[in-house]
Chain A
Amino acid sequence: MNLFRRNDGHHGSWAPRPGRHRIILATVIVCALVLVDSLSGGGIRSIARAGGSLVWRWGISIEGAIYGSGFFRTRRALLAENSALTEQVAQFQERAAAYRVLQDENAALREILRVSEISRGKGKDSGITAPIISSFRASPYGTFQIGAGTSDSVSPGNLVLSAEDFVIGRIEVVDAHASLVKEIFAPNTLTDAVLHGVGVAVLGQGGGNARADVPRQADVAVGDPVISATLGSRAIGIVGNVSEDSGNAYRRVQIYLPVNLSVLKFVYIVKQ
């Protein structure tokens, strides 16, 4: 029996196959779109983001209507309870972490015997609240959208905070009524921070998690707040785990944001 493949179906093998024309055309269109977007300063990206957030909002309202209709009543009740409990746990975690932050701040202030003029409440007067208008988990680049833009005086570099003043991200791109936010813990993003008086470079890993290496002598424990001076001395996370390798001069610290991003509906925007 001849085991070689028969090639009598390849009479026109030098001629382009039918699907190939479309691939070539699609590649040309994609290159053209990239070029036009670059030349227009992100005009097409802006349109795509507006369309994406519109579809996302429709999806959320359809989901709400389906669950609200009672079709999945038992499942819905369980999901609602689960969601409420998750949110409650996240709130407690965030409050506990915020308490630790305040405690540390208070101790530092007492140490230097000087009352700072910058109070945590003062900055809130110049900020605005904005709704989140995209999914948190869909972005591979650690970005999400909020429903405030140039019409609300939002500008690139503004900080995006949670209810308890933890920095979630920074405004990157601003459109008329929406903005793209990059998370502080976006993958491969470096942020300078201070952990128990030790300066560290926090490397984002996405999903509200980050890691940093601290010297072995540093007194770091689970639950310690991580403060960033470059972000207005605000907290960016808390220590979740400290792992030690006997052959290493540094200790690996896992940091997480004590905010449940998936249940977050509103954020707070302040100028840095």
Chain B
Amino acid sequence: MSRIFRPTLVIVGSFAAIFAPPWVTIICMGLLAFRYPAWEVLFIGLLMDFLWMSELFSPMPIFTITAVILVWGLEPLRKEFLFS
């Protein structure tokens, strides 16, 4: 299941950054980070900010920061309670 689910979410999240509303990308990032120790989330967040931000720190790169919080913030939670 993991072999299909994880790459699918990564592909959907990456394409959503180009085609779909931002909440689709956020959902993909959240699902990935909840279920797996997914390093891909960081790159999806960075891709989103690189694609759409006019300046890197004005406003704040919300998606990169969200990705870092999701990946690192959920790490202890994932380790103790979730599906690891």
Contact = CB atoms under 8 A, between A and B. Distances in A.
Interface of A: 17, 19-20, 22-23, 25-27, 30, 33-34, 37-38, 42, 44-45, 48-49, 52, 55-56, 59, 134-135, 137-141, 143, 172-173, 180, 182, 188
A4 B75 CA distance: 22
Nearest to B71: A23
A42 B54 CA distance: 9
A137 B36 CA distance: 28
B43 interface: yes
Contact of B18 (A19, A20, A56): A56
Which secondary structure dominates where chain A touches chain B?
helix
Given A52-B51, A138-B17, A138-B22, A17 B79 contact: yes
B68 interface: yes
B43 A45 contact: no
A55 B40 CA distance: 19
B19 A30 contact: no
Nearest to B53: A141
Interface string B43-78: 100111011111110010111100010011001000
Most buried by A among B46, B47, B62, B75: B46
B27 interface: no
Given A138-B17, A140-B62, A173-B54, A25 B39 contact: yes
B42 A26 contact: yes
Nearest to A140: B22
Given A33-B46, A49-B50, A135-B20, 12 more contacts: A19-B37, A20-B75, A23-B75, A27-B72, A30-B64, A34-B46, A34-B61, A42-B56, A44-B50, A48-B47, A138-B21, A172-B55
B54 A180 contact: yes
A45 B50 contact: yes
B8 interface: no
